[in-house]
C-alpha cells in the first residue's frame, strides 16, 4: 500500500515537472527578450527642472526584412514591423527623446485622436524638422503609443503620429532613402511596466485592420519598461 503512495507522489512530481517544463518552454520560446535600453545624453532643461536626458532610436518598416526578424524576415516577412527590436527600456524620472524613422506609406486613421501628439513636452513632436501638435489624419503611416495599467502611481501616456511617406516617393523595391523622421521628448514618472503599440490600422485585412502584426508583440506592439536608473 505504501508503495502506492510513493508512486502517487512520483506522479505528482512527474506531472508537475512536465507542466513546469512546458511552461518554461512556452515562456522562453515565445518571449523576445531582446531589449533596447536608452542611451544617456547628459541632462536636459524641462518644465519639471533639470532632468537626466536619454535618447532612443527606432524605426517603422513596411515589412519584416529589417527589424529583429532575421535575414529573410522570419515567418511573416510581409508584416510591418518596428525595429531594431520591439522592447524598450528607459530610466524613471528622466527626459526621454525618441527618434523614429518611418519608412512606410499610410492612409486614414480609424480614430483622429491619434493624429494629435499626446503626452510629450509642450504636446509637440518634431516631424522632419518642424514642430507640430497634430498631423493630417488622412496621411498617417503609424503611431507610437505608450500606455499602461491604471493603478500605476504616475501614469505614462505618450502617443505620437508618424506621418506617411507619400506613395510616389516610395521606391519600387527596398526602403526609401527619405523616411519621415519624428522626434519627441517626454518625461517619465515612477518605474513601471508599460506597453506600446501602433494605432494606425496597418494589420492584415481583418476587422479594423488590427489583426496579424498589430496583434502580435514583436511587430507593431511591444514592452516599454520604465526602470529606476
Partner 1 sequence: MSDLDVKKRPSIFKRKDVRLTGFLWVIFSVAIGYFAGEVQTRSMGAPASDTMATTINMMKVFTWVSAPIAGLVGALAATTLLSKLHFGDTPPEEADHEIRNSPRIVSGWIVVSAVLCLFAVVWGMVVLQKDDAALLNPKSMNVNVVGQQWVWNFDYVDNGKVRSSDLYLPVNKPVVFHVTSKDVIHSFWIVQMGIKIDANPGYLTETSVTPNKIGVFDVRCAELCGLLHAYMQTKVHVVSQADYDSWIQSQGGKI
Partner 2 sequence: MTTVLDHPTSAPGNSAMKRPLIERLNVFTAFGLGIISAIVFWYLARTFLPENTEGSFIKTRLDAVTIIAMLGWFFGFMTGIGALIGPFRWLLGKDLDHDESMFYAGKDQGIKRYFRYTTDHKVVGIQYLVITIIIFFVGGTLAMLIRMNLGHAGGGWLQPQTYNAIVGTHGIVMIVGTIIMITGPFGNFIMPIMIGARDMAFPRLNALSFWLIVAAIPPMLSSFFFGGISTGWSAYAPLASQAPPGMDGYIMFIVIFAISTMVAGANITTTVVKMRAKGMTWNRTPIFIYGVVASVALALPVFPLFFLSQVMSAMDRAVGSTFYDVRGGGSGWLYENLFWIMGHPEVYVILIPAVAALMEMAPVFTRRPLFSFNTAIMGIAGISGLSILVWAHHMYVTGWAPLLNGPFMLTTELISIPTGMLFLVLIGTLWRGRLWMTMPTASIYALLWNFMIGGITGIYLSDVPVDGALHGSMFVTAHFHYTLMGAGLTGALASLVFWFPKMTGRMFDRRLSWIAFWLVQIGFNVAFIGMFLVGLAGQPRRVDAYAALFNQGNSVTTMAAYSIMAGMLVLLYGVISSWTNGAIAPMNPWFAKTLDWTVPNPVPLENFEVLPVVTSDPYGYGKAQS
Measured distance CA(161)–CA(146) in Å, rounded: 12
User: In 163-176, which positions are buried (b, 16+ CB within 10 angstroms) versus exposed (e)?
Assistant: bbbeeeebeeeebb
Closer residue to partner 1, CB minimum distance, 55 or 155 = 155
Q: Closest distance between partner 1 and the C-beta of residue 6, in Å?
A: 24
Looking at residues 195 to 214 of the shown chain, list those that interact with partner 2 (rule: CB under 8 A). Answer: 204-208, 210-212
- Interface residue with partner 2 among 105, 116, 154, 215 (CB under 8 A) is 215
For 17, the grid coordinates are: 515537472
Q: Closest distance between partner 1 and the C-beta of residue 214, in Å?
A: 7
Task: Give first-to-last CA distance, the chain, whole Å.
Answer: 59
For 111, the grid coordinates are: 480614430
Residues that bind partner 1 (CB under 8 A): 110-111, 113-114, 116, 118-119, 145, 147-151, 155, 157, 159, 194-195, 197, 199, 207-208, 210, 214-217, 221
Residues that bind partner 2 (CB under 8 A): 1, 4-5, 7-8, 10-12, 14-16, 18-20, 22-23, 26-27, 30-32, 149-152, 193, 204-208, 210-212, 215-217
Amino acid at each position: 500500500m505504501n508503495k502506492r503512495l510513493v508512486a502517487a507522489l512520483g506522479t505528482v512530481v512527474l506531472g508537475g515537472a512536465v507542466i513546469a517544463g512546458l511552461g518554461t518552454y512556452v515562456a522562453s520560446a515565445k518571449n523576445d527578450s531582446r531589449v533596447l535600453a536608452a542611451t544617456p545624453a547628459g541632462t536636459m532643461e524641462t518644465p519639471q527642472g533639470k532632468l537626466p536626458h536619454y535618447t532612443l532610436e527606432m524605426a517603422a518598416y513596411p515589412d519584416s526584412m529589417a527589424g529583429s526578424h532575421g535575414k529573410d524576415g522570419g515567418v511573416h516577412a510581409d508584416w510591418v514591423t518596428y525595429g531594431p527590436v520591439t522592447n524598450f527600456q528607459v530610466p524613471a524620472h528622466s527626459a526621454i527623446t525618441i527618434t523614429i524613422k518611418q519608412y512606410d506609406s499610410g492612409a486614414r486613421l480609424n480614430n483622429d485622436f491619434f493624429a494629435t501628439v499626446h503626452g510629450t513636452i509642450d504636446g509637440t513632436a518634431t516631424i522632419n524638422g518642424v514642430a507640430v501638435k497634430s498631423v493630417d489624419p488622412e496621411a498617417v503611416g503609424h503611431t507610437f503609443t505608450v500606455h499602461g495599467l491604471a493603478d500605476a502611481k504616475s501614469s505614462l501616456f505618450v502617443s505620437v503620429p508618424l506621418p506617411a511617406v507619400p506613395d510616389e516617393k516610395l521606391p519600387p523595391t527596398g526602403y526609401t532613402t527619405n523616411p519621415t523622421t519624428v522626434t519627441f521628448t517626454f518625461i517619465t514618472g515612477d518605474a513601471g511596466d508599460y506597453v506600446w503599440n501602433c494605432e494606425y490600422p496597418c494589420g492584415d485585412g481583418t476587422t479594423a485592420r488590427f489583426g496579424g502584426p498589430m496583434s502580435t508583440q514583436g511587430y507593431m506592439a511591444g514592452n516599454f519598461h520604465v526602470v529606476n536608473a
